[in-house]
Amino acid sequence: MSIELFEFTPVHTTSKLVEFEGEAVLQVIKSEKIMEFDENTYCKVEDISFHNGVIEVKVLSRLLPDAPDFARGFIGIAFRINKDDSSFESFYIRPTNGRVSDPIRKNRGTQYFSYPNYTFDYFRERGITDFESSADIGLDEWITIKAVIEDQTANFYVNDEETPTLIVNNLILGSEARGSIGLFVDIGTQGFFKDLKITSYD
């Protein structure tokens, strides 16, 4: 579905429709909380209450000119966002990690986290690796990401692969959580989004 057909509210980001390779896409850049990781920094879809279903979108990530050395092109989706943006869950990708030779960094190509308490830093400090996985991705290329969410389970797919790239069987906010959907970016990312598809099961 064309990105132009959705209404968005930017949350700690700036966003605008731009022409990219001859089509209209949504550009999203973090505007506040600049140096804080895994925060509520997304462009939120208006008038939706999502519980179970499928979220699919094409994303392209570029590093901003002033991106810090640790920027990875962070880009993804947030879901089940509550009304005051104080709670949500997210899948995102790190395109610069997709094709590196370092196996540890490569296995951090994708990420699940739950805001506000269960960020990637929380998992890293405790040596929890269940919420990361590798993916064949890179900067400046269109990547299809898809999350299939049912109650407390979520399967995350990259580039139309039949097998999930990442499976989460214990979504931290629980099986009853519902809320909006957001197009997520983090530190140093100039993010582009198109072809957003949302299918609700209930």
- The length of the chain is 202
DSSP letters of 66-130?
T--TT----EEEEEEE-TTSS-EEEEEE-GGGTT-S-HHHHTTSEEEEEETTB-HHHHHHTT--T
CA atoms lying within 13 Å on the CB side of residue 3: 25
Rounded to the nearest angstrom, the gap between the alpha carbon of residue 179 and the centroid of all alpha carbons in its chain is 15
The SS3 call for residue 5 is: helix
| Tokens 């996985």 sit on residue | 133
Contact 187, 71 (CB under 8 A): yes
- Ordered domains of the chain (ranges, CATH): 3-200 (2.60.120.560)
For residue range 117-156, what is the model confidence (pLDDT) as tens digits?
999 999 999 999 999 999 999 999 999 999 999 999 999 9
Residue 4's pLDDT is what?
Answer: 84
Task: Kindly report the pTM of this predicted structure.
Answer: 0.96
Angle at 192 between CA 199 and CA 165, to 5 degrees: 55
Q: What's the pLDDT at 5? A: 86
1 compared with 175, residue with greater pLDDT: 175
The phi, psi pair for 97, rounded to 5°, reads -90, -10
Contact 67, 161 (CB under 8 A): no
Cα separation, 143 vs 132, whole angstroms: 17
Of 88, 17, 86, 9, give the one whose Cα is nearest residue 55. 88
CA angle centred on 55, ends 142 and 151, rounded to 5°: 145
Q: pLDDT per residue over 39-59, tens digit each?
A: 999 999 999 999 999 999 999
Within 10 Å of residue 151's Cβ, how many Cβ atoms? 13
